[in-house]
Structure 1
């Protein structure tokens, strides 16, 4: 089977400072996180919710590229969780 992303939902995980999304390989669910630093430049002043909104918006704009990077990471070794970084997007 190949990795698919049938559910477009994503959420901001404050504890990990990352956007969480899920892929599926057949009946297996694979968790992905993409670090906030890969999605939004850090601001000197942090307003509550501003980073979350920026990251979710950036994720939506880069969704196709992020899914491609996630598929590539998954193809190199199958695990149940992956954390993608800015280096993975370039």
Structure 2
């Protein structure tokens, strides 16, 4: 049996900062199924050296690294029942 092709897309450009988890959240979709991705603040600072751990700085770092972050999300996503992934 051939492996099912994962159809993860990112039509929703919104992202938000979660202060309690110190991460930036964004969403991907596999058909109508919404998948949440949380990008750890430390990961954003690693991708963007010199970034401070303030909300506005982490959101800006996320925006600068968007293509790379989406590729990481596609690598993590398995197409199973899991609905939340942490990129750290």
What's the TM-score once normalised by structure 2's chain length? 0.80
Larger helix proportion of the pair? 1
Contact 2:27 2:35 in 1 (8 A): yes
Residue 40 of structure 2 corresponds to 35
Q: 1:68 aligns with which of 64, 71, 78?
A: 71
Q: 1:11 aligns with which of 8, 11, 16?
A: 16
What's the TM-score once normalised by structure 1's chain length? 0.79
How far the C-alpha of 1:75 sits from its partner, in A, is 3.0
User: Unaligned regions of 5+ residues in structure 1, if any?
Assistant: 44-49, 86-90
| Distance (Å, rounded) in 1 between the aligned partners of 2:62 and 2:15 | 9
Q: How many residues align?
A: 79
| Distance (Å, rounded) in 1 between the aligned partners of 2:80 and 2:20 | 25
User: Unaligned regions of 5+ residues in structure 2, if any?
Assistant: 1-5
Over the residues paired in the alignment, what is the CA RMSD in angstroms?
2.0
